Amino acid sequence: MHLETSVVARQDQAIDQTLEACGFEPSWFCEQVLSATNDVGLTSFIDDVGSRAAVIVIILLVAWIARRIVKRAMPRLTALVVARHDEEAKELAKREADLDEEKRIDLELRRDRVRQRAETLGGVAGSLLGGLIMFFGVLMVLDQFGINLAPLIAGAGVVGIALGFGAQQMVKDFLAGIFILLEDEYGVGDVVDTGHATGVVERVSLRVTQLRDVDGTVWYVPNGEIQRVGNRSKLWSRAVIDIDVSYDTDVDHASQVLLDVANEVWHARLPDLSIISEPEYWGVEAFGADGVTLRLVVRTEPTEQWAVARELRGRIKKAFDAEGIEIPFPQRTLWIQPSESDPSGHRERLTGAAVEGSSTSLTTAASAPATPQGAQAKEEG
């Protein structure tokens, strides 16, 4: 009887220890620790730390998995949006069977623009979602440490207001970035002029736009600093080519040569030189000091206007040489007359043309030589 009573007492003591150390719903881990240590305080501490650590690890693991899912899902979602737009464009092209080539190219350019914008918005949305996931994950981890989140969130609101007054430029950058994305002012791959720098857009975030100029320099322009922006590659571009010819040139003949060269490049369908509509001759642009300026314009795919212009200039030079059309250069007339100390000298007229460097080619227009010692030169433009 005494033995049974002692056994019951030990069982009650073990139950009390288990309840004190592990609570009313003891875990297997807590029971094993209590059995190994037989110390209520140590078991309670280990169980509390272990359970919190397990929860924290689960929270961080879930947050990491969620970020990975978002990172992988955004490109696929972007591709899905682009594919849907492609299908709509194809259906439109099928319904409008009489679309000319220019309109078909315009549809293709708009499809590329949709893809470009979807990639930009997808990158920004992925970054925002990833940041929100990590933010809520940190809050949940802090809650596991017993930190009251209500005062923390209230304090964060006060700090946010203070930062709003103290960091107005940053707030301005974020607001400008939001409107840049919503209004589709430019996206990754566009060639833009922000006033501060000109180059290809490599990245657009809510705070800053990253550009790379022709020299390879990377520029980081805060969105709030962009007062105006010029997009040189939205949907299509235009190559504007001004060619000077001498005043005695037949303008009609020169303009026809320009159009023939441009049409040749248009019909050649050269790679990376995509002309999307028939070249246009706009006429005489200006009368210069040495020649007449003719303007030729060509509509191209985005960012290809510079390559097309270089190709056309090279071909135009060869065509002008073949047709005998002169590209003018600065010309001057010099009058060499005698000085007062040598009244017997003869006045002489020299004409010449300025060439590269400092040399001048001169042609004598009068047969009488001038006196070298007292000659004075007077330039007539």
> Which pLDDT score is estimated for 92?
59
Weakest mean pLDDT among 30-39, 124-133, 169-178: 30-39
> Which pLDDT score is estimated for 346?
53
| 3-class state of residue 346 by DSSP | coil
Tokens of 136: 């809520």
| 3-class state of residue 189 by DSSP | coil
Place of tokens 């090279």: 314
| Residue 228 contacts residue 196 (beta carbons within 8 Å) | no
pLDDT, tens digit, for every residue of 210-251? 999 989 999 999 998 898 899 988 878 899 999 999 998 999
Nearest alpha-carbon partner for 301 in 109, 110, 118, 115: 109
> Which pLDDT score is estimated for 104?
61
Place of tokens 């028939």: 278
- Alpha carbons within 13 A on the beta-carbon side of 305: 19
User: Please, which residues bridge with residue 203 across strands?
Assistant: 210
Q: Which helix (H) or strand (E) holds 29?
A: helix 28-37
Give the C-alpha distances (Å, rounded to integers) separating 226 from 206, 223, 342. 13, 5, 68
- In this prediction the pTM is 0.54
> Which pLDDT score is estimated for 279?
92
Q: Is the pLDDT of residue 169 over 90?
A: no
pLDDT, tens digit, for every residue of 310-344? 999 999 999 999 999 988 877 666 666 666 665 55
Q: Is the pLDDT of residue 107 over 70?
A: no
- Residues making up the chain, counted from first to last: 381
CA–CA dist 75, 73 (Å, integer): 6
Tokens of 368: 């009488």
Q: Which residues contact 177 (CB under 8 A, 6 or more apart)?
A: 204, 205, 206, 207, 208, 209, 223
CA–CA dist 273, 253 (Å, integer): 26
Q: How many angstroms from the chain centroid is the CA of residue 87?
A: 27
Go through the domains of the chain in sequence order and give each one's CATH number: 1-147 (no CATH), 182-231 (2.30.30.60), 237-323 (3.30.70.100), 331-380 (no CATH)
> Which pLDDT score is estimated for 369?
42
> Which pLDDT score is estimated for 77?
79
> Which pLDDT score is estimated for 143?
79
Q: Left (φ > 0), alpha (ψ -120 to 50) or beta: where does 34 sit?
A: alpha
Q: What percent of the chain has pLDDT over 90?
A: 20
Higher pLDDT, 8 or 289: 289
Query: How high is the mean pLDDT of the chain?
Result: 75
Amino acid in the structure at residue 154:
A
